[in-house]
Structure 1
Amino acid sequence: MKILNSSFIRFITFYNVALNIVWNPGGGASNSFDTQGPSFSIEPPNRLEFTNSIGSRADCTVRGNPQPSIEWFDQHNNPASTIPKVRHILGNGSLYFPPFEAELFRQDVHLSSYRCVATNTVGTIVSRDVNVKAVVNQRYEPEVQNPGGFLGSNVIIKCNIPQFVEDYVTITSWLQEPSFNIFPSLEGDGKYQMLPTGELLIINITKLDAQRTFRCRTHHQLTQETRVSSNVGRIQLTEMQELVPPIMNTKFIKIFARLDDPLVIPCVAYANPSPSYRWFQREDGDSPLKTGRATIRHGSLVIPSVKSIDSGTYFCTATNSEGSETLEVKVSVISSLSAHIQPSRQTVDLGKSADLTCTTSGFPQNKIWWLKDGQPLRTGSRVRLFDQASVKITSITKEDKGMYQCFVKNEHDSTQGTAELRLGEVAPQLVYKFIEQTMQPGPSVSLKCSATGNPTPQITWNLDGFPLPNNDRLMIGQYVTMFGDVISHVNISAVKSEDGGEYECSAKSRAGSVTHSARLNIYGMPYVRPMLPISAVAGKSLTIKCPVAGYPIENIVWEKDNVRLPTNM
């Protein structure tokens, strides 16, 4: 058999080092007795939004034993590396976006999604998607509208935010000049009410209201900048007596309300005479409101604390003597998502069964899916998925151990839960053993042992009961397969007669040990290798092998202190 080439020797030597780190026979870093799969101490956020003038950072902190390595991947599943002045992977595992000039904006970097992947010898976990959005900082001006209305009617004044910043700017208050501030409230003061969505509702307008001016005050969430609109808004009062049926500029609106937040839905129609307002949950007007917590004030629907049952479609009908108009409002109540797998850690013997249940909370939940060691869970006859939230694994094999994750997401949020599946202890077994060989000096030879078990066994080699001699022609290579089997080779180049003897491979773990031995016979003159000092315990049996090489050997004689053994029976 040919000797392994040098590149492969480096390859198996690398894996031998990796295996030694897991086993840590010297008691240094870590050992298989207390391994723990990766888990997030700090998981990066679902959204990372920032301006180019400030920059931002996504932290990913992971614990486990051995300490997991961290790597970032982009939305195309390519490793994310450092790009000078644009993106940096920090030594602590954080993903950092430094401040940058507008011309350095890159859509593939600054408008993308990333995942933090953590791996150790136990398995791999993946973070939820981090949706990164860098915004080039631009000056903006809020602008107040000038709505029209009839005497005695209600009017909504809106503060328009430019589209390029509307996702990051909120309206915090209104100023009725010169110095009267109006803040958000559920009921208002009988004349003015700032709605939670930012509009200003003015009740029962008069000629005096038409003489007043209004400005809006805004806050930029990314830059923390506060601005007051440079223009002022006024009510365009219509005093004509012409009859006008209710008119609504908007017939349908969609609202996302967070759980337990207050909700105010205005319903205002341009009409003469002033209309009456009624709210229903069916367009035909036959279904009253389901929630007893809702009240109607000046035509607006008010829910002090939103609950999940408040999700649905609402209809507001404005009616006067000339006709009616209906506003349709779809309300979606959302709450933060969470996911946990039970049990979070379990140990199962080979051939047994395991159950994993993903418990989720929050809503809506659009999608649930599973990963095994960072890859989509492969289901089949042994691995079954029930109702997306439960996994049952029958006839457990070594391939089933590792890290499991369930993910849940909607258009606003995403999260994940993690669990580790361990195998029960299995004593080492040799799945491949070298055989006795007889050969002439000169060629190369390779002796191979392969072992399986849990925890992963360590293979050691002896020659005639002593450690292998140290020379340039002999090299030991050892590595662990993806399924946890250990493969170990003893490679000898240009064998000589003194390389002969009884070679033994031993596979050991805390679950037990197993050995195999066979002779390697090399034709040549008899040769006895030097023997190391041997320790023995009085009263105990002692067996010593003669480290003899050369082939064939006709006779072996033992002596003690120049006296031939045995001296007695």
Structure 2
Amino acid sequence: MLEIKVITMYLWITFAWLSFIATLSFGQEVPKINPFLPSIKPVIGGKTSFYCQSLSGSSPLHVTWFKDDKEIHDSSFIRIKSNEDPSVLIIETIQSSHSGNYTCRMSNKLGYDSYTTELLVQGSPNWIEKPKDITAHSGDTLTVNCSASGYPKPKIEWKRLQGSSWINLPSNNLYSNQIQLSDKLIIKNTTRESNGKYGCLMSNGIEPNLWTEFDVTIKVIFSYNYLSQSFKLWTRSS
């Protein structure tokens, strides 16, 4: 009999609690964020901002900002105006490192909503790897690297100095042993004709472009024994 009373009391308390929660929640909504984009086209040295506002949701609403899934706090480059609805994230003096995915997370006691947008910072190319002068032996295969960061993604042009003019590689199969693969220049089966000055040009439509030159020197190895035998035959015949 006592157990029945305990169970009845437990059910009554549970029902009362659920009714209380339902009363509190009546007419209230989980937040819904209005999609957003950067307010200004981002360029290095410039300024941009994100404006996060709810389409619906019961107050109070709390806003948290993230970049690449890491929470953002005020810093020398970033300011957050208000952690309530609406909230504005401002990036001062944009750097290339500010590129990434920015998320606004808006929550109340009923739940949360989040929205993510990508920030791509436009800027001129910056060197990642510059080619250097290279020395190899005849018959070797050379691989030369040249790469740069920047947005839009930089395009690469390989060139070779011919006379007083720079020509693009490859050019009309003039140097059929040279293969251009994006950020790599491969020279197969090198010969004395591979000697020369080469260049790498990086551009993405935003000045300044990047340009660097490098020398390729091929050492030709002669067979000592062969030359020795040839010299002996020549002296005998004379």
Q: Which amino acid aligns with 2:156?
A: I
The 3-state SS of whatever aligns with 2:52 is strand
**SS of corresponding position for 2:190:** coil
8 Å Cα contact 1:341/1:356 also seen in 2: no
Structure 1: stretches of 5+ with no match in the other structure:
1-248, 258-329, 479-487, 526-569
Q: What TM-score does the superposition give when structure 1 sets the normalisation length?
A: 0.29
Q: Does 1:504 align with 2:202?
A: no
Give the 3 Å change call, closer, same or farther, for CA 331–501 of structure 1 in structure 2.
closer
Match of 2:22 in 1: 256
Q: CA RMSD in A?
A: 3.8
Is the CA contact (8 Å cut-off) linking 1:342 and 1:419 kept in structure 2? yes
If you compute each CA radius of gyration, which structure gives the higher value, 1 or 2? 1
Would you say the 8 A contact 1:345–1:422 is kept in 2? no
The alpha carbon displacement at 1:502 in A equals 2.3
1:458–1:508 CA contact under 8 A, matched in 2: yes
Which of the residues 519, 525, 534 maps onto 2:215?
519
Aligned to 1:454: 151
Q: Secondary structure at the match of 1:346?
A: coil
* Structure 2 Cα separation of the partners of residues 340 and 251 of structure 1: 34
Count of residues paired in the alignment: 195
**Deviation of 1:520 (Å):** 0.9
SS in 2 for 1:254: helix
The one-letter code matched in structure 2 to 1:256 is A
User: Partner of 1:399 in structure 2?
Assistant: 97
Cα deviation, 1:80-117, whole Å, max 9, x if unaligned, reads xxxxxxxxxxxxxxxxxxxxxxxxxxxxxxxxxxxxxx
- Maintained 8 Å contact 2:126/2:148: yes
In 2, Cα distance between equivalents of 1:435 and 1:250 = 78
Shift of 1:396: 1.5
Question: Whole-Å Cα distance in 2 between the matches of residues 434 and 250 of structure 1?
Answer: 75
Aligned counterpart, 1:334: 28
Distance in 2, Cα, partners of 1:351 & 1:250? 59
Pair 489,334 (structure 1): closer, same or farther in 2 beyond 3 Å: same
2:129 is equivalent to residue 363 of structure 1: no
What amino acid maps onto 1:458 in structure 2?
K
Q: Which amino acid aligns with 2:159?
A: N
CA drift of 1:511 comes to: 2.4
Select 1:409's aligned residue among 99, 107, 117: 107
Question: Which residue does the alignment assign to 1:463?
Answer: 160
Q: Spell out the pairing of 1:482-561 with structure 2 (5 A cutoff).
A: 488-492=183-187, 495-512=190-207, 513-524=209-220
Q: 1:331 to 1:502 in 2, by over 3 A?
A: closer
Instruction: Work out whether residues 60 and 108 of structure 2, in 8 Å CA contact, stay in contact via their aligned partners in 1.
Output: yes
Matches within 5 A, 1:174-193: none
Distance of aligned partners of 1:383 and 1:494 in 2 relative to their CA distance in 1, 3 Å threshold: farther
In terms of fraction of residues, the more strand-rich structure is 1
Select the structure that is richer in helix: 2
Mean alpha-carbon deviation: is it higher for 336-345 or for 469-478?
469-478
User: 1:99-118 counterparts in 2 under 5 A?
Assistant: none
Give, in angstroms, the shift of residue 350 of structure 1: 1.1
Shift in Å at residue 334 of structure 1? Answer: 0.2
